[in-house]
Amino acid sequence: MKIKAVIEKGSDNLFSIYSDNMIGDMGLGGFGKTVQEAKADFEDVIQEALDECAKQHDGVLPKKYQQISVTYYYDLMAFFNNFDWINISKFAHAAGINESKMRQYKTGASFAGETVMGKIQSTIHRLGQELSSASLL
């Protein structure tokens, strides 16, 4: 089973993770002060749901739940708060986005459209490739 999980940062400064996927009749969600705490909580909820589902099926977990993979997606606020070491001004320049507008996306004061999200996603991937290909002496 492939689970799509969305990470958001709330107005209470806590991170939440939710998914439209279900295991049996149990919904999936997690919370934490950090993304790592929220992921750990989310994974605990998945395990609890799997355990409950197995109980409901005489101790045997249905085949569709025997292999679980989770893909995490960030909203912009959660992404830039989790990776707070990214210089937002330099990132905006690398992405070809106005610095002021980029700060608004980071704080949730404004929301990026599809084209801008594409630029941001492309820049994230490009920077990731550059970092992963770097070697140190």
CA separation for the pair 20, 5 (Å, rounded)? 8
Coil, helix or strand at residue 122: helix
Please state the rounded mean pLDDT for residues 34-38. Answer: 95
CATH code for the structural domain at 2-74 = 3.30.160
Look at residue 13 in the predicted model and tell me its pLDDT.
87
Please state the rounded mean pLDDT for residues 7-25. Answer: 93
Q: Which of 49, 20, 15, 62 is nearest to 34 (CA)?
A: 15
pTM for this predicted structure: 0.82
Give the dihedral sign, CA 117/6/69/22: negative
Burial of 78 (0-12, 13-18, 19+ CB in 10 A): buried
Residue 70 · residue 5 · CB < 8 Å: yes
**Residues 37-88: tens digit of each pLDDT:** 999 999 999 999 999 999 998 988 889 999 999 999 999 989 998 999 999 9
Q: In DSSP terms, which residues pair with 2 in a beta bridge?
A: 69
